[in-house]
Structure formats: C-alpha cells, structure tokens
Structure 1
Amino acid sequence: MFGLLLFVPVAVAAWKFYQFARHPKDAPLRSVTLCLVTAVASYPLAMPATSKVSLIADHGTAKLAQNVLLLGTAYFLLCFYLYSADERAGGRRARREAGVVLVVAALLIADAATVPHDVFIGSFSTADMTIPQVAVFYGLAGAYPTYAMTVAGRWTRLCARQSSRPHSTGLWMAAVGMLAMAAACLVRAVMVLIRWAGGTVSHQLMAVVAFCLAVAILLFVVGITYPAVRTRITSARLWLRHRRDYRRLAPLWQLLAEAYPDNILKPSSDDPRETRRARGTHRRYYRRIVECRDGLVDISPYLVGQEDEGALLDFAPDELADRLRHAVEQVGQGASVPRRVIPLALSHGADQDSDVRQLVAVSEALSSSHSQSS
C-alpha cells in the first residue's frame, strides 16, 4: 500500500524535473519542482509508526533531515505563488522568506545539538516532550509549515474559485491538501504543548494525525499535477483518434493518389528536423485530409452527368465509392471532362470532425467494396 502511495509523488516529481530541465529559467516551475522533490524526500519519514518505512525515522539525524525537508517544501511552495504573481517582487519576498527558513533550520540544528542524540530516536508519538529541547524541536518544526501552508492554501482556494475545469479541480485538491497539512501541523503543535505540560495524548490519535499528514501531502502532489495529467490524457486520446482515422482514410487516399500523384504534399524543406516533424501522427493526419480533399475536388467533374449533378451531395457513401472507382478509371484513360468542380462528401455539420467522419465513411465504403469484389 505504501509503495503505491509513494509511486505517485515520485512519478510526478520526476515529470516536473524533466519539465524544469527543458525550461531552466522558469522560476515558478523551478519552485514547484523543488517543492515536489523535498516533499517526496520527506514523505517516507512522514508515515505513521506502524509503517515499515518509519524505521528510517528512528534515528535523530533522519528526524532532523525530515523536518528540514518539510521546511523546504513549505518555502518552495510559497515561492511558486510569489514568482507566479510577480517574478521581480516575488524574488525579493522569496529572499526574505529564505532568511526565515534558514533561521528556523539553524535553530532546529542548534536545538538538536544541545541534547544527547538518543532523545530524538523514535517517532513523534514516542518522543519525551517533557524534555524542553524535544518540545521546542517539534514545536518549531511545525510552526513555519503551518504558516506557509495556510497562506498558500488560501491563495490556492482563491485561484480555484476563479478558474475553470480541469484547473479548478486540481487547485481545489491542492488547496485541501495544503490546508490539511497546516491543520495537521497545528494539531501536532497542540499535542506538543499538552505533552510538555505533563499531559498525555493517545497513540491512536497521534497515528491518525501522522497518516492524515501523509495523505495530505499526497493530495497536494496530485492536485498541483492534475491539470497537466488531464491534458496529457486528452492529448493521448486525440493522438489515438488521429492515428486510427489516418489508417481508415488509407483506401480513399490511395485511390485519389493513384489518379493525382501531384497532390501528395512534400516536406517544406530538406531540414532533417522538419522531416522528422512531418512524420508526426498529427501532421500526417491533417496532410492526408488535405490530400483527400484536393483529390476529390480534382475528380469531381468525372463523377456525374448533367442530369444528376445537383444530387451529388446527397449520394450515400457506397454510391459515391462506386462512382469514384469508375472516375479514377476514366482519369487513367485520359478522358477529358470540362464540367465545373462540385463539392463532394460534405457533412451537414460545421466542424472538421464531421467532415472527417464523412471522408472516413467513403473510405470504408471503398475498402468494403474492394473486399467484396476480391
């Protein structure tokens, strides 16, 4: 279960790192990438004590590293919003926030250095909060993330209200995740005060809070990447549809290319990069549509006589396919037909998809009639 939960943040962080490698000067992207990297690095250590991975956190050094990483997560999250709003002014605010984070991190390190290393061994639930340094460590470690997550969560909520789907969906998920992280840190701070004063908090409650913190981090990661994932899924569906329709248009394209080979479009230059781009699925798809339409325009005068020219647009795909085969034979024999050009296989819709569906219907009719004749 933990491996599945960890896979999503790791995959998202890797994807953002890839994007940042392509656009290294993008300050908001750099901030969100570093935010995800630090969150992923701290994520295994945020699991409750029942997790096998929490054994890593049984060392004081790892505990310190976990909390410093969470400080970095909160800081870089703030930077993302600061740079997104105004890169120049945001840069000045980011430098001031960096100073605060460095001071908090230095205080954590100094605090941990004043007590024996073994007082930090164990989880939050087993730490002895009656030791002042331990109480200060956990209280201080949660203070800045609570502030940063609250501010960022409020900004995200405002953005979500003003955005449309799918961006609003992802923003709401991220806002809930950040506010939940802030709430979990705040609850943990209250627990620290209670235990420092000599009170007790049930281990079950502390385990629930720790698990909620881990889930909140996961929800935040999923939320900020949801629009990009949704866009990728939509792009993949479009790619598959274009690839499928490209193949379905092959019978019509081959017939028209046989009659009018000059209509086949060639790459606009000899540049190898342009040639590679021309081989892309989308370019080949649109090129095939244009070539089919050009061929139909050229062959249209051969399809009808004077008596049925007006009814040509009403022909069924099967009838039009039969006439196309006959017309290609006439073109091959050098027949000359001076009649005007007539539009063919036009759909009743105004969008390109309707037009393509009509071309595909004619192409499939050609393929079906060829199979029957064979």
Structure 2
Amino acid sequence: MNAYALHSAGATAAWLAFGYKLTALRKAPRDYALVALCGTLLFSAIAYTVAHPRVYVPVDRLLGFPNAAALVAMSCVVLGLAGQQFVLIFWAHPHGAARHRARPRVLSAVFVLLALFTLFPLAEPSERRPEDFALHYVDNPPLAVFLSVYFLYFVWGEVAVARLSHGYAKISHRLWLRRGLYLVALGSWLTLSVSLSRAVGIALAAVSVDPDAMEPALRVLGNLGALIVYVGWTLPGWGPVLGAPGRHLRARRQYRRLRPLRNALHELAPTIELPACADGFWRRLRPSCLEFQVYRQVIEIRDCQLALRPYADPGAVRVAGELGRAAGLGARQVLAVQEATRLASMVRSCRRHTVSDHQGAPPTATGPEGSGLADEIDWLVTVAEAMERSPQVAAALARGDVTR
C-alpha cells in the first residue's frame, strides 16, 4: 500500500470519526469532555489531511513558506494528544479536580507549541519534503532540536493517553465505553512503538545508516494504530448496535423460560398486570421491547408472589432444601430449588383454596444479595427451570401432600 492510499484511509477515518461525534455534540453542547473529544478528532483529521502528499504542497503555497504543512500537522498532533488527555481526565474525575489535573497538561502542550513555532523558522527548511521531512532534515541542528521536542512530547503524550485510558477502562461500568478505552490504549501503544522506531531511524540516519527499509512497515503500523484509536473513541456510540442480535436472542430466551411461571401466577392473581409493550410487529421485535417484556414479567412474578404468600407451604420448602443438599447440589441450586418449591406450593394451595396453617413462614427468597436487574432475571430463569424440571421440587410437594 503506497503513501497516498495510507494517508487517504487515515484522513477518511479521522473525518468520519469527527463527524460522528459532532452529531452527539449537538445533543450535549455543554459537555466539555465531548467538546474536547470533537476537537481532538478534528485536529487529527487536519493533521492527516495536510500531511497527505497531494495536499502538502498546496498548503505550503497557501501559507507562503516551505514545509508549512509539516508544522501544521505536528501542531495538530500536539493539540490532539492534549485533547485526549483532557477528555480522559474529565471522564475519570469530578469537574473541579479534573480542571486542576488538566491544567498542567494543557500548559505543557502550549509550551511545546511555542517551542515548535520558535525553532521552525530558525531551521529554514527550504526544500519541500512531504514524505520524508524528518529523515531528510535530521542533519540540520535547529531542526534536529525541533524534531526532538516534538518526538519527546509525542512519546510522553501517547504514554499518558494509553495509561489514562487503560486506567479509566478498569473502573468504567459501561461495557462499550470500557471496550472502546481499551482499544484507545492499544492504538496508543502501537502508535508509540511506531514513533519510537521512527526516532531510532532518524538517529541511524544521523550516522549515515539508511532507515528507508523500515519506513513502509512503520507507515502501515502507524495508520493501523491511529485507526484503532478512532474506533475506540467512537465505539461507545455505535458499539451497542453490534450487540443487538445477542440481546435479542438472550431476551427471547429469558422471555420464553419465564412465561410459564408468569402465566401460572397471573392466573391466580389476574389483577396484577403491567402495561404491555407498544403495538406494532416490528416494535415488538426490537431488543429494547423484548427486554421490557422480560422486565415486565419479573415485576409481575414478584408482585404475584407477594399476593400469594399466604398459600406457601414452608414445610415443603424445608424438605426441598434437605433433598437438594442430600443430592449434592450447590448453595445457589439449593436456594433455587427452595424458591421453586415455594412458588409451586403457592400455585397448588391456591388452586385448592388451602391457606397454609403454618405461622411465621420464612420470607420470600429474592436470590443472591446485592443482585441487580440482570442477576434477578437470571435468578428467576433458574427458579423457573427448577420448578419445571427439578426432581427435588416434585418430591418435596409429594411429601407435603402425604403429611397433610
């Protein structure tokens, strides 16, 4: 792949990422982190565009001095690295603490930009070099200092972005944000390794060793790292779409497994019913609608359970626990068998119009402590399956019939 194709692919990816996040900014114009992220992607897109071999010369002519495109591209890279750090700091810390932590990073970027704009005119790089600017001018002392300042900040900035994104990913509770930040960290490390290799190449060129053999591979890896970073920054927005088929199948499976239990309880407490999902064939097929239906089933099951609690047979529940432990079931499985027996005894006693004469019945089990909605759904699915298939549940109910 030649330099034109690489720059075109990188520039296209950068502009697409910027346009995608810009649509989100319209919905939250006061989100400072999102503003910084849009600015970061914009600077990256500009850097890629002006460094394109076919855009490089027109930019020089527009600004009026040779290799102006190189100065613009490097300045945009510095601003992009500072912007990424700004975003990550504001995501990971409260606003006041984030401002305090971000200030030195912003000041360091400003200092580097001042150094670059001061050193570049001193070097006077008169020959346009759109493809090998750094390698060609490495023997120019002022420009060598210029490149050293740029590469040192670039290395420091990439390390900071990689560490911040990886650290925030470990504490983030949003799945797709966490995955995106891991990709940002991966892309940053890859880009850093490419830059270090290019810096080694510049050092080799200074001692008359030709580093051109490495350049094609470094360009491919560098563009790959940048592409991974763009994917990581935008993944939280479009990533959930990738999980829609899996969500659909999971919600459908949960709905079908909970439906017999919900129907059995609802038959005995028909007044407990929540509003259904919106009408329409396609709307009912959406993962969000299926998830709402599952959530609706969970609420109705629990409400019916409370309404039918006087019909529970604590003796059968106790026997179910003994049978489960005797069968070598784990603690969670024993709890599921007991909960299934409690529900089955409610259904049986209510149909027979037999209220339990046991006083001080144990409270309704709710599953593992501290569980969220997803854990609650999984728990009720386990209970529903035990109620339908567990031999311990059937044996406990049969023994309850004998002892009555």
- TM-superposition CA deviations, 1:303-332 (whole Å, max 9, x none): 88x99686577789999999888778x4xx
Q: Are 1:180 and 2:193 matched, yes or no?
A: yes
Structure 1 gap ranges (5+): 47-53, 268-278, 366-374
Q: Please list, as runs of the form range in 1=range in 2, the aligned pairs for 1:135-284 lying within 5 A after superposition.
A: 140=146, 142-156=147-161, 160=166, 164=170, 169-170=182-183, 173=186, 176-177=189-190, 179-180=192-193, 182-184=195-197, 186-187=199-200, 189-190=202-203, 193=206, 199=208, 201-221=210-230, 241-265=250-274, 282-284=291-293
Cα pair distance change 1:109/1:285, threshold 3 Å = farther
For 1:233 and 1:327, locate their aligned partners in 2 and report how far apart those are by CA, in whole Å.
46
Q: Are 1:103 and 2:114 matched, yes or no?
A: yes
Q: Please list, as runs of the form range in 1=range in 2, the aligned pairs for 1:12-23 lying within 5 A after superposition.
A: 13=18, 16-18=21-23, 20-23=25-28
Q: RMSD between aligned alpha carbons?
A: 5.5
The two structures have a TM-score, normalised by structure 1, of: 0.59
- Indicate the residue corresponding to 2:385 in structure 1: 361
Cα pair distance change 1:9/1:102, threshold 3 Å = closer
For 2:271 and 2:29, locate their aligned partners in 1 and report how far apart those are by CA, in whole Å.
45
Quote how far apart the aligned CAs of 1:264 are. Answer: 1.6
Asked if structure 2 preserves the Cα contact closer than 8 Å seen for 1:34 and 1:73, the reply is yes
SS in 2 for 1:120: coil
The two structures have a TM-score, normalised by structure 2, of: 0.56
For 1:176 and 1:103, locate their aligned partners in 2 and report how far apart those are by CA, in whole Å.
26
- Identity, % of aligned positions: 14
- TM-superposition CA deviations, 1:263-314 (whole Å, max 9, x none): 12359xxxxxxxxxxx86555433311212332454576688x996865777
- Indicate the residue corresponding to 1:39 in structure 2: 44
Cα pair distance change 1:241/1:321, threshold 3 Å = same
Asked if structure 2 preserves the Cα contact closer than 8 Å seen for 1:178 and 1:217, the reply is yes
Q: Which moves more between the two structures, 285-294 or 86-95?
A: 86-95
Q: Are 1:120 and 2:120 matched, yes or no?
A: no
Asked if structure 1 preserves the Cα contact closer than 8 Å seen for 2:317 and 2:342, the reply is no
Q: Are 1:70 and 2:77 matched, yes or no?
A: yes
For 2:189 and 2:134, locate their aligned partners in 1 and report how far apart those are by CA, in whole Å.
29
SS in 2 for 1:59: helix
Query: Which amino acid in 2 is paired with 1:186?
Result: A
Asked if structure 1 preserves the Cα contact closer than 8 Å seen for 2:265 and 2:301, the reply is yes
For 1:145 and 1:82, locate their aligned partners in 2 and report how far apart those are by CA, in whole Å.
23
Cα pair distance change 1:5/1:94, threshold 3 Å = closer
For 2:338 and 2:114, locate their aligned partners in 1 and report how far apart those are by CA, in whole Å.
77
